[in-house]
Structure 1
Amino acid sequence: MTHFVVVAGAWLGAWAWDEVAADLEAAGETVSALTLSGVAERRAEPAGLETHARDVVGAVEGRDLRDVVLVGHSYSGVPVGIAAGRIGDRLRRVVFVDANVPVSGEGFLDAWPSDPVRAAIAAHDGVWPPPAAEEFAGQGLTDEQIGRITAGATPHPGATLTDPARLARPLGELPATYVKCLLDGDEPPPPVAELVADGRWELVTMDTGHWPMFSRPAELARLLRESAAAR
């Protein structure tokens, strides 16, 4: 039986997947939504990138899960990608939802012009504060959905964004699907574009913004099920 392990991006906990998980479970799938250390109900716990990678590995190995589809959104694509290389034949597929992916020796903030984020972390005692509501404009979200995100978001531990990734397997060896949300840009990150061009990864698109678990949960659930069936 396929088991989906879904991980939200920065600031958000397992609750962000409630609607997607409900749709998957209604279709007969098994789902575990994971809150990473240092955010949401675990916000008191210290965390670096390695902590988050271990969180994901532990969620799989601690429950002896098999035939696992790991799903990482946004920031969590980095620890999910690291974890995917560590769980061996337990992995069925990894799905990156409009996500960053790990690059060996680099941190999340190394992948894009991130000086404002680094400054914000320095100014807020080592955490990245959640965005204001207006920063979600143009992403296909209703006011109610934006309100849910901002009400549930908590500061994100800054070390997880700057620590370098350590990969057990090259990304190209992972069976993977990348979901690109078009309102957040047409192109996936360069490492992903290269793997898609080489035919090693599957690329699918959604005509919505960066937060599809809120804006298009049923469509995202369908794409996750289709990705799990891909070979």
Structure 2
Amino acid sequence: MYPYCLGIHQFPYVDYRFLPHMPCGYYSLKEGRWFWRQDALGAENSNPPHAQQRLTFVLVHGSWADAHFWDGIAAALRRNGHTVYTPEYAGHGEDPNRNVTHAMITQSVVDFITRLNLHDIILVGHSFGGTVIQKVAEQVPDRIKRLIFWDAFVLKDGESVSDEVPPQTRQGFEQLRASSKDDTIMLPFPLFRDLFVNTANLDVARQIYAGVVPEPAKPLFEKLDLKAFYVLPTPKSYVYFYQDNVLPQGEGFGWNPHMSTRLGQFRLIVGDGDHMTDSRTRPAMVAQKLYEAGRD
């Protein structure tokens, strides 16, 4: 009923719009196209790690993003010998239909995994993507080696994402939703700059924001049945970046320990970064943290 794209996103992209101008050069322009520079990983990390255990990652992005969010991180993981998939889900990327539900988003990822017959995967969810991998894990638990939540929502049974943001933020979302013509929410730049890319300089913040599009509102307010998730024995990890300012720390909110401890036994990996900036400016660092969270 609702078409969506199930493409596998590979780097490079002609329309990659989120490129910060870094002094050491993470990207190079050749013949009018942006290319990932293989030497960029060395510039970012002068002491590369020893040979890594080969893993298969499936990376699920969050709100106000699409599968291109993972371009640099996926390239860094592949450089270290990993297999990486970055599925797009309903209502995002090239899908023009914004009238989607959380179940449709989940089904996009489930269909992607089963269509490619993937097994023994490290399933990663960033931000809103945490709620997606919670529901995906319920449907294909036998295909998942480990779940990784990177500054991601871990909802309780019966909760929605909107239940886990401060009242002022929720009210703001409701007002933005009401003022839209297609039941979406578009983040104002001042809010995006302070909460999502707080460690970026202004130029980089503006470049990242240029790629932000309105987010379908309905999935953010849907309450999810997660009873099946909370009885899964699947190993879990949580990656927490100290400077992530999307959720306030303390007073009943925040990523760690508020969200993370809901996983029961879990592996904690920490880093120094914010919600989105490091995926563009330090992708090899993020890739290393995901590897540490996913390895045996």
**TM-score, normalised on structure 1?**
0.89
Tell me what 2:219 maps to.
160
Tell me what 1:205 maps to.
270
Q: Quick check: which one's helix share is greater?
A: 1
Tell me what 2:33 maps to.
none
Tell me what 2:258 maps to.
190
CA distance in 1, matches of 2:126, 2:149: 6
> Shift in Å at residue 109 of structure 1?
0.5
Gaps of 5+ in 1: none
Tell me what 2:176 maps to.
120
> Shift in Å at residue 189 of structure 1?
5.4
Change (3 A) 1:122 1:48: same
CA distance in 1, matches of 2:131, 2:187: 19
Q: Percent identity?
A: 28
> Shift in Å at residue 175 of structure 1?
1.3
Matched residue type, 1:217: P
Choose which of 181, 192, 217 in structure 1 pairs with 2:283. 217
What SS does the corresponding residue of 2:157 show, helix, strand or coil?
coil
Change (3 A) 1:174 1:119: farther
Pair 1:3-2:56 in alignment:
yes
What SS does the corresponding residue of 1:218 show, helix, strand or coil?
helix
CA contact (8 A) 2:176 2:186 kept: yes
Pair 1:93-2:151 in alignment:
no
Matched residue type, 2:172: P
CA distance in 1, matches of 2:120, 2:206: 35
Pair 1:18-2:92 in alignment:
no
What SS does the corresponding residue of 1:184 show, helix, strand or coil?
coil
**TM-score, normalised on structure 2?**
0.70
> Shift in Å at residue 40 of structure 1?
2.6
What SS does the corresponding residue of 1:42 show, helix, strand or coil?
coil
Q: Which has the larger radius of gyration?
A: 2
CA contact (8 A) 1:97 1:180 kept: yes
> Shift in Å at residue 112 of structure 1?
1.9
Gaps of 5+ in 2: 1-53, 250-254
Tell me what 2:132 maps to.
79
Change (3 A) 1:56 1:124: same
> Shift in Å at residue 62 of structure 1?
1.4
What SS does the corresponding residue of 1:139 show, helix, strand or coil?
coil
Matched residue type, 1:121: R
What SS does the corresponding residue of 1:93 show, helix, strand or coil?
strand
Structural RMSD (CA): 2.1
Choose which of 102, 123, 134 in structure 2 pairs with 1:49. 102
Equivalent pairs counted in the alignment come to 227
Tell me what 1:179 maps to.
239
